[in-house]
Structure 1
Amino acid sequence: MLLEGLKVVEMATWVAGPGCAGIMADWGAEVIKVESPDGDATRAFYPDTAESPGNPIFSMENRGKKGVVLDIAKPEGRRALIALLRQADVFVTNVRPGSLRRMGLDYESLKDELPRLIYAAVTGYGLTGPEADVPAFDITAFWTRSGVARATIPPDQEPFPSRPGFGDHTTALATLSAVLAAVHERTATGRGRLVETSLIRAGAYAISWDLSLQLRYGQVVTAQPRDERPVPISGFFRTSDDRWVCIVPRTLDCFTNMMIAIDRPEILADERYDLPIEDLAIVREVRAMIDEAFAGMTLAEASQRLTEGDLAWAPMATLAELADSDMAQEAGCFEIVADGWGGSFRAPAAPARFPEGAPPVGRPAPKLGEHTREVLEAAGLRPDEIDALL
């Protein structure tokens, strides 16, 4: 069912690589997570102990995997990894390209020995070029270097970072898509291939609505100060109970429906407000009317009026509201995951579900090296070889 029978070896830390392999684990693949003796850095967030079981950060990316510790800087550690890769369909890594080459674990070094292996390399800035080995996080490469931040943050505001893992999870999905395409191809060719994704490329794709205009015309208007925006009914408006609603017009009728919602239908008979409104002074005048109207409504009142007007809108929710939302529960946003200590907790779900049946999700993330002996025995290593590694 789904990815059951697919064997994945992951040698990656933080989020983008582990996130890709984590979704495959959710969908039934057997995923072996290879860590150094120090472990994935995300283990250090909210330490997993009997007193505080179930590190939510590490579990998010690594639930359902088997955990193996190998020191691949040593010859016996590298040999053990190769033994695992001989049995694998997919290898996911975000180790920097130069380090992989030095250890003989880059794609060129392995492709002849392991011709069926699909090798997924996740990087900051790609596998080639002078910046291939530059260290990167999603906040630096996906958010800042790609232009996403500059296109998102209005120029009258101080820059701010993206939330942790935001661009990493986009890159994880891109990597997953590419891996599954390569798996499909291999059913016909019998051969694996190199799959490459990067934070910078995922960022460029994520902002590609704006980027396509930049590439085509040499310029693009991105985030503007609120007072300079050309569509008066689009954007965020504050209610009397200090909540924000976001409104996005879909058709020309939305302007009519908005004027009715704010009790200003007389606007519709004034030709100064005929669409499109090109005079920015009139845009500001209309926006001021909308601001004043919402300032006199509670969120509940605004919700009723906007919904009755069939407008595309949403309240700016908190994470606490999302977590308590019946809608989010119905949409499948959460999973129940074992904490590895006999209990369980709610966690975010992968971004797709399969209503007609899927492998169960909920196995805990592995303790550091928890399955080393079991996995290496299955890979054919002798007990004395495993003892030496341990």
Structure 2
Amino acid sequence: MRALEGIRVVELATYVAAPSGGRVLADWGAEVIKVESPKMDIWRNYGKTFNGPANDDENPIFDVPNANKKNICLDLKVPEGMEALHRLLATADVFITNNRPKPLKRMGLDYQSLKAKHPRLICGYVTGYGEEGPEADSPGFDTVAYWAKSGFMADMRINNPGSYPIYAPGGVGDNSCGTMLAGGICAALYARDRTGKGDKVSVSLFGLATWVMSLMNTSVQPPYNYQYPKTRFEGRPITLPYECGDGEWIMINIMEWERYRDAFCEAMEIPEVASDPRFQTSAGVGKLENRGPLIQILEEKFRSKSSDYWDERLTKADIVHSRLAHFRDAVVSEQAKANHYVEHITCPSGQDYWLARPCVALEEGGLPPYELAHALGQDSREILSQLGYTPEEINALAEKGAIKVK
């Protein structure tokens, strides 16, 4: 039995942040029912943006946040569609949405309205910037509300002539936000077992970014005034990436220099560094006047051999390090496969992929399935039948446009 088996989640959400939270809950055993309008979740089309397919037979960009869910298509602008949603919510434990506060209020899907009708319901809301303050109703995707608003894009930019902020990678803040949402929902479910009452769980992309970047936004405050970014020779030599002779890079991270100094220097074939008075201690390595010389020594040495060569030697010396993997490497690494961080999937089209899955493993529940995202309205008949609708009533709703069925 998986941890959340018997819990029903209704997800009225688009894009990635809120749906990724539903995906996590589904992997932990909840029955997650994704509610889409006839216009569908626009994320179904975004595979094309990433040079990929976007159809019912092959849609990996949509599958990752939407696997292991059922799908019902309801037009909430039609009274009968909204009635069907409330009949569904009456059977649910959790409601998830990323609609903004004002539209939710108009639809009667804000927390206070739902609490009056469904007092045991846990309501999970995802916003761009939080539900209070001047930006509460502002739209926000993770590139803006997470990467730009957090300070990362401005303060981690190397300010050289002609340089510019990185093109922020999409989905990072979204998936993190969804995972935080899933944790909050589980806490609310645990509390409901003791109180019998539902609760409201609220997370935002900006709030999450503030938490994730807390080391940075704490250290820059007075009186510390730590500065970002660091130029190459301002960095600590033993926590930097180095280019190897084959053009690949290796990142080292030695937190206890005195403990690992001799082993590291032997592995790197630089005994002179181990005996150099400037580099005997962590404090000495950290002195600004010593950083540049040691970095230059290490740069020259790393470039003298391939990344395979240095990776093998550093591994034998038990030095914390890693190649700078490419995105294509991470999903097919033996480490990812062994821990089921990725799953080999064959789409109905016949195309194979390695697709990521939520990485929290619950031993007693076993490995969750990986059922690709359902088509729009694929489960409408089944779900409505469970709610007491007759086949004739379902057909009538379809003819009226209140629902869509496959």
Q: Please give the TM-score of this superposition, normalised by the length of structure 2.
A: 0.89
**Distance in 2 between the 1:254 and 1:216 partners?**
34
Residue 199 of structure 2 corresponds to residue 196 of structure 1: no
CA contact (8 A) 2:101 2:137 kept: yes
Evaluate the alpha carbon distance shift between residue 84 and residue 135 of structure 1 in structure 2; reply closer, same or farther with a 3 A threshold: same
Residue 190 of structure 2 corresponds to residue 167 of structure 1: no
1:239 equivalent in structure 2: 244
Gaps of 5+ in 2: none
CA contact (8 A) 1:4 1:29 kept: yes
Residue of 147, 153, 156 corresponding to 1:149: 153
Residue 100 of structure 2 corresponds to residue 96 of structure 1: yes
SS of alignment partner, residue 112 of structure 1? helix
Deviation at 1:269, TM superposition (A): 2.8
CA offsets 1:46-88 (integer angstroms, 9 cap, x no match): 44547xx220011111112111111212322221111111110
CA contact (8 A) 1:10 1:32 kept: yes
**Distance in 1 between the 2:133 and 2:346 partners?**
43
1:258 equivalent in structure 2: 264
Evaluate the alpha carbon distance shift between residue 336 and residue 267 of structure 1 in structure 2; reply closer, same or farther with a 3 A threshold: closer
**Aligned Cα RMSD in Å?**
2.1
2:314 equivalent in structure 1: 306
Deviates more, 1:175-184 or 1:271-280: 271-280
1:325-340 mapped onto 2 (5 Å cutoff): 325-337=333-345, 339=347
Following TM superposition, the consecutive aligned residue runs of length 4 or more in structure 1 with deviations greater than 6 angstroms are 341-344
Evaluate the alpha carbon distance shift between residue 18 and residue 338 of structure 1 in structure 2; reply closer, same or farther with a 3 A threshold: farther
Aligned residues: 387
Evaluate the alpha carbon distance shift between residue 37 and residue 121 of structure 1 in structure 2; reply closer, same or farther with a 3 A threshold: same
Evaluate the alpha carbon distance shift between residue 357 and residue 115 of structure 1 in structure 2; reply closer, same or farther with a 3 A threshold: closer
CA contact (8 A) 2:149 2:206 kept: yes
Residue 300 of structure 2 corresponds to residue 297 of structure 1: no
Deviation at 1:341, TM superposition (A): 6.3
Gaps of 5+ in 1: none
CA contact (8 A) 2:331 2:355 kept: no
Deviation at 1:153, TM superposition (A): 3.5
Evaluate the alpha carbon distance shift between residue 343 and residue 4 of structure 1 in structure 2; reply closer, same or farther with a 3 A threshold: farther
CA contact (8 A) 1:339 1:365 kept: no
SS of alignment partner, residue 222 of structure 1? coil
CA contact (8 A) 1:17 1:92 kept: yes
1:1-390 mapped onto 2 (5 Å cutoff): 1=1, 2-44=3-45, 45=47, 46-49=52-55, 53-156=57-160, 157-214=163-220, 217=223, 219-229=225-235, 231-252=236-257, 253-275=259-281, 276-277=283-284, 279-337=287-345, 339=347, 345-358=353-366, 360-382=368-390, 383-384=392-393, 386-387=397-398, 388=400, 389-390=402-403
**Distance in 2 between the 1:257 and 1:222 partners?**
31
CA contact (8 A) 2:331 2:356 kept: no
**Distance in 2 between the 1:239 and 1:118 partners?**
52
CA offsets 1:123-178 (integer angstroms, 9 cap, x no match): 00011222111111011011110123334443445211332201101101110000
CA contact (8 A) 2:331 2:354 kept: no
SS of alignment partner, residue 116 of structure 2? coil
CA offsets 1:177-207 (integer angstroms, 9 cap, x no match): 0000000000011110110000001111111
CA contact (8 A) 2:245 2:306 kept: yes
Q: Which amino acid letter does the alignment assign opposite residue 221 of structure 1?
A: Q
SS of alignment partner, residue 200 of structure 1? helix
Q: Which amino acid letter does the alignment assign opposite residue 222 of structure 1?
A: Y
Deviation at 1:232, TM superposition (A): 1.6
Deviation at 1:19, TM superposition (A): 0.4
**Distance in 2 between the 1:18 and 1:375 partners?**
19
Q: Please give the TM-score of this superposition, normalised by the length of structure 1.
A: 0.93
CA offsets 1:102-125 (integer angstroms, 9 cap, x no match): 111111111111100000000000
Deviates more, 1:134-143 or 1:325-334: 325-334
**Distance in 1 between the 2:320 and 2:367 partners?**
35
Q: Which amino acid letter does the alignment assign opposite residue 168 of structure 2?
A: S
Deviation at 1:342, TM superposition (A): 8.0
